[in-house]
Structure 1
Amino acid sequence: MRYLVGLIGSGITESLTPPMHEAEASALALDYEYRILDLARLGRAPDDVGSLLIQARQEGFSAMNITHPCKQRVVDVVDELEEDADHLRAANLVVFVGSRTVAFNTDWMGYRDALIVGLPGASFDRVVQVGCGGAGAATAYALLSHGTATLELCDVDEARREDLAARMRTRFPTQVVRTWPPGEISAAIARASGVVHATPTGMRHHPGVAFDVGLLQPHAWVSDVVYRPLQTELLRQAAERGHRVLDGGLMAVGQAYASLRIITGAQPDRGRMERHFRTLTSAEDRARGRRRS
């Protein structure tokens, strides 16, 4: 069987998702092609995601990954939402099943698996999360699914953090979900068993650190969803202070792993996908270093 898969989003020409999918599909001996549909290059608006899905199905695509800024928009234009995508009101994978479109969210699956693989034995008694946007919704859902007893959410956008908290309380009624404005989060971080960073701060074009790692308890762990670069300034500072850290690479690999499994029904090799991903990011870093020199 031939698989034709695409990615819809804006500014995605350098995405690592296509080479991750194609390399693992090749290792599995699958006939698999992955194409990018960049809204910016196509001159299309985010609200065109529905018409792009119709066009893709007509052209014989098997599935489409969905990324920023269409993850929330796509839930309103598909025929069916898998349960977790419905709870999150965001999807990053649409599979064509006959004449129907079925949407999934594999971001939360990728982060849940990252927690299992990357932080074995860690305490999830009290976790603080900074950032409640698209990535933050997925990480919050994963944290509570993984058994976090108390999740404390912080975001500069009050409506966004309260909406996410309300949805998580409905889905996980036996666990505690609290919210904090940025100016009041320091005390929560100081008593947390772990802190998750889910904002763009720390990305190459958004340098900085979202909170003071000096507030952390000695045993606390730190997780960052940013993976370009893999070692953000936040993780560097936390590691230097002796904290366990989890970079954004495992989440990126995990969502690709889950998407590939759903699309093909095959069983990808997660370790092999991670090794390939880190090879790709290392090559990027070397190329960037040569351009600077």
Structure 2
Amino acid sequence: MLESHLQQITCCMGQPVAGNPTQYMMEKAFQAAGLEWRYLTLEVPPEKLADAVAGMKAMGFCGGNFTIPHKVAVLELLDDLSPAAAKMGAVNCVYQKDGKLIGENTDGKGFLESLRSLTDPADKHVVILGAGGAARAIAVEVGLAKPASLTIVNRTAGRGQELVDLLREKVGAPAELVVLDGDYELPETTDVFINATSIGLGDDEARTPIVVDSLRPGMVVADVIFNPPQTVLLRDAAARGCRTLDGLGMLVNQAVIGFRIWTGVEPSPAVMREALEEYLEI
């Protein structure tokens, strides 16, 4: 039974995780904003997703996050999508409005906001490693920001080309594909390099497959990995004079956007960042 004094509840549906940093951030942010809200983490198997979404609407949840493996499957269960989510073909954030469930994707927006703390991708030469869910969300938002070029580097041609086609046809971005074979050497023109894969998650010795010598002073190097915050890629990049961006900013910013969508209240990014660092013990 849900506690009657709670005004609203948000949720996270997806695979089981060892704790949930987003839940910890959200609960701290609710407290700081004086909101009697709860953020619940719910394990939902794929075959029960439709039941879970129907229950979410019936119980009056204001919205929720959807993680792997539900980001694409949930699309057909929603009433509408934001323009960006429709282009990406994936959703990580859902909210209720007038009895309807609307899908949004805050991953790319959160990353772009974080990236702009160092540089605006407009008119820049951007290289993204990966073509999975995170890469897809980031590439669409970066593409909408009008870069000079956008190169997708991926091990498999099929998935990589699918993302490039999406960027060209739906976003109008000047995208091209490089199929990864060994370590990738970043072109001298590269302004921004983004690791949008899971390489390095939970492993502070994992190497991103790029030629380290192609990292150049002044280049912006970003990693979506938030744990550990300082990956091998970022350590190598900093040592070569690059400006670096860790995954904590992306995680905080996408949470800020979700909080704002659900509550209509502007949260404190500082409270969220502090909560995340406390959760990760850094």
Give TM-score scaled by structure 2 length.
0.91
C-alpha spacing 1:265/1:121, structure 2 compared with 1 (3 Å): closer
Contact persistence 1:132–1:155 (CA under 8 A): yes
| Match of residue 199 from structure 1 | 197
Q: Which structure 1 segments of 5+ residues have no match?
A: 286-293
Structure 1: distance between partners of 2:191 and 2:183: 14
Supply the AA of the counterpart residue of 1:106: T
The alpha-carbon deviation at position 48 of structure 1 amounts to 2.8
Supply the AA of the counterpart residue of 2:242: H
Instruction: Kindly provide the CA deviation profile for residues 169-227 of structure 1, in whole angstroms up to 9, marking residues without a partner as x.
Output: 12332x41111100287354443112100111111259332312211233212100011
Structure 1: distance between partners of 2:209 and 2:16: 24
Residues 1:34 and 2:70 are matched in the alignment: no
Supply the AA of the counterpart residue of 1:142: E
| Match of residue 290 from structure 1 | none
| Match of residue 64 from structure 1 | 64
The alpha-carbon deviation at position 24 of structure 1 amounts to 0.9
Residues 1:266 and 2:262 are matched in the alignment: no
| Match of residue 231 from structure 1 | 230
Contact persistence 1:191–1:217 (CA under 8 A): no
Contact persistence 1:47–1:73 (CA under 8 A): no
Supply the AA of the counterpart residue of 2:29: E
Structure 2: distance between partners of 1:210 and 1:64: 34
Structure 2: distance between partners of 1:204 and 1:185: 21
SS of the aligned residue for 1:186 comes to coil
Instruction: Kindly provide the CA deviation profile for residues 27-58 of structure 1, in whole angstroms up to 9, marking residues without a partner as x.
Output: 1111111111123xxxx2x2432221112222
Instruction: Kindly provide the CA deviation profile for residues 98-151 of structure 1, in whole angstroms up to 9, marking residues without a partner as x.
Output: 43211111111101111112x147885211111010000111122223332100
Structure 2: distance between partners of 1:180 and 1:33: 44
SS of the aligned residue for 1:64 comes to strand
Supply the AA of the counterpart residue of 2:194: V
CA root-mean-square deviation: 2.1
Q: Which of 4, 7, 15 is equivalent to 1:10?
A: 15
Contact persistence 2:183–2:210 (CA under 8 A): no
Identical aligned pairs, as a percentage?
Answer: 27
Give TM-score scaled by structure 1 length.
0.87
Contact persistence 2:91–2:104 (CA under 8 A): yes
Aligned residues: 276
Residues 1:94 and 2:94 are matched in the alignment: yes
| Match of residue 73 from structure 2 | 73
Task: Say which structure is richer in helix.
Answer: 1
| Match of residue 183 from structure 1 | 181
Q: Which structure 2 segments of 5+ residues have no match?
A: 1-5
SS of the aligned residue for 2:39 comes to strand
